[in-house]
Amino acid sequence: MALTQRLQLRQSQALVMTPQLMQAIKLLQLSNLDLVAYVEAELERNPLLDRGAESEAGSGAFEAAQSPDQPVNSQALNGAEFQNNRGADDDRSQSPLDDASGDDSEPVRARTSSDLPAGYSDWAGVGSGGRDDGDYNLESFVSAETTLADWLREQLTLAIADPGRRLIGRYLIDLVDDAGYLSGDLAAAAEKLGTGTAEIEAVLAILQSFDPPGVFARDLTECLALQLKEQDRFDPAMQALVARLDLVARRDFAGLKKICGVGDEDLADMIAEIRRLNPKPGLAFGSAPVQPIVPDVFVRPAPDGAWIVELNSDTLPKVLVNQSYYAEVAAGTRGATEKSYLAECLQSATWLVRALDQRARTILKVSNEIVRQQDAFFAHGVEHLRPLNLKTVADAIGMHESTVSRVTANKYMATSRGIFELKYFFTSAIAGADGGEAHSAEAVRHRIKQLIDGEAAADVLSDDTIVEKLREAGIDIARRTVAKYREAMRIPSSVQRRREKQVAAVP
């Protein structure tokens, strides 16, 4: 075959990953906290971006298009960035997600400072006290909680007067973690402080008598022993029990009775006493505040029996493009570098506002379809959760599976049955018996837990028995799958449950 050179024309379609498209895709998978941090960084970097202020009277809302037979109503949040004020510049640009996700909805232009009423000024929101009421935070007047380290240092000042030992005590306090356990090697501490290990252990013995009981322990056994000594309950039988916590975890009560030399009733009392102890005494003191889960979507029942899905406006940053500032600065620019920088800032700000708008629309669209698919769950509970995958939702709303996967990552939905991650509603299918309808894996787990919770002490259900009962209910499941689900829910085996219930039944 001869090798020749020739020209060919070929036409093809390809999706070019522009920086704007990459930014829009990145925003989709961010949680609300990460999104706020990202927008704050953009506000500091781009001078043409302003924080949007919600207007109580003039704020509008968009509603997702609903077919007459679709049982889900969608209601969006009220926010400045969803004002339906389209200008002439809307036809010159398109949201980056429109091409990627197949969404044909027209992007909505954000309200800029030029849209504000005449006579409006930045001082309009300032109260009579000469400050912006939005900066007034009652939490700034709340006193800080006492941490575990602060509490231990206060006790150290009263318990030890020797300066050398007090220095050792401060060093050991710095080695205590939030749970109250002492981390680090005493020999390494003695070498660093230039003293003997015996001196370190002597100071540690004093510190282990501090409040809360059990603090400065090096492991769980020592922590429980310190608390029992504080209560004057560390007798030989209890000492033997604490030394064999592995048997307590395995619920080997026969072996524990032999080791401790006690009967069933005494062993039950001793185990109950251990369970009343605090395995992490340091957590009772102040620490970093735990950030509660803030839902991105609210679902509530409508009067006509449908479900209303609406976005949480508190999780959506409000940003505006300051067109008046852009016009003022553009009039004074002369060099090509300045004009290029200003044009780049304007383009970046416009794309960010549009990407945030499209992100909210996409989340609402996916949430609508999830609620429609899992309507029985919202009405009747987890037992009616249907098998669902990303492809089903993606085909229903005309998007790609990767887009749905990004939307459901780190997003939460608040319902009348609690707050759930959006990925919670995507569960694998378990075949039904005799070719019946498939069941959701989460619903099967719930059914297994109900069977075990309802079992009697004299009739503990084995995994094989649970399999038979589930097949009678139309669920075809293997024994190993039942064991896997049971272990995932931290439910012990039938042998361990029988031992525990026999001890609990002893009068």
pLDDT tens-digit map of 334-378: 888 888 999 999 999 999 999 999 999 999 999 999 999 999 999
CB atoms within 10 A of CB 16: 6
Q: What is the largest CA-CA distance in the chain?
A: 98
Residue 187 vs residue 109, higher pLDDT: 187
Over residues 205-233, mean pLDDT: 93
First to last CA, the chain: 96
The CATH architecture one would assign to domain 428-504 is: Orthogonal Bundle (1.10)
Mean pLDDT of the chain: 79
The most confident of 85-99, 108-122, 293-307, 434-448, by mean pLDDT: 293-307
**Is-above-0.75 flag for pTM?**
no
d(CA 122, CA 106): 31
Predicted confidence band of residue 59 (pLDDT cuts 50, 70, 90): very low
Over residues 25-34, mean pLDDT: 87
Name which of 145-149, 305-309, 398-402 the model is least confident about: 145-149
Whether pLDDT at 412 is above 90? yes
Domain ranges across the chain = 19-114+293-407, 148-284, 428-504
pLDDT attached to residue 480:
92
pLDDT attached to residue 128:
38
The most confident of 18-22, 125-129, 257-261, 291-295, by mean pLDDT: 257-261
pLDDT attached to residue 23:
76
pLDDT attached to residue 74:
45
pLDDT attached to residue 1:
59
Predicted confidence band of residue 77 (pLDDT cuts 50, 70, 90): very low
Over residues 414-434, mean pLDDT: 85
pLDDT attached to residue 57:
32
- Which residues lie closer than 8 Å to 396 by C-beta, 6 or more apart? 369, 372, 373
Q: Look at strands 72-75 and 307-311 and give their pairing.
A: parallel
Residue 265 vs residue 502, higher pLDDT: 265
Percent of the chain at pLDDT exceeding 70: 78
pLDDT attached to residue 202:
93
With both helix axes pointing from N to C terminus, report the angle between 19-29 and 401-408 in degrees, rounded to the nearest 10: 50
Over residues 317-338, mean pLDDT: 87
User: What is the per-residue pLDDT across 427-446, written as a single tens digit (0 to 9) for each?
Assistant: 888 877 666 678 888 888 88
Could you tell me which of 284, 309, 293 has the C-alpha nearest to residue 361? 309
CA dist list (Å): 133 to 128, 130, 143: 9, 9, 21
pLDDT attached to residue 200:
92
Whether pLDDT at 280 is above 50? yes
Whether pLDDT at 413 is above 90? yes
Predicted confidence band of residue 286 (pLDDT cuts 50, 70, 90): low
Residue 41, burial from CB neighbour count under 10 angstroms (0-12, 13-18, 19+): exposed
3-class secondary structure for 359-374? HHHHHHHHHHHHHHHC
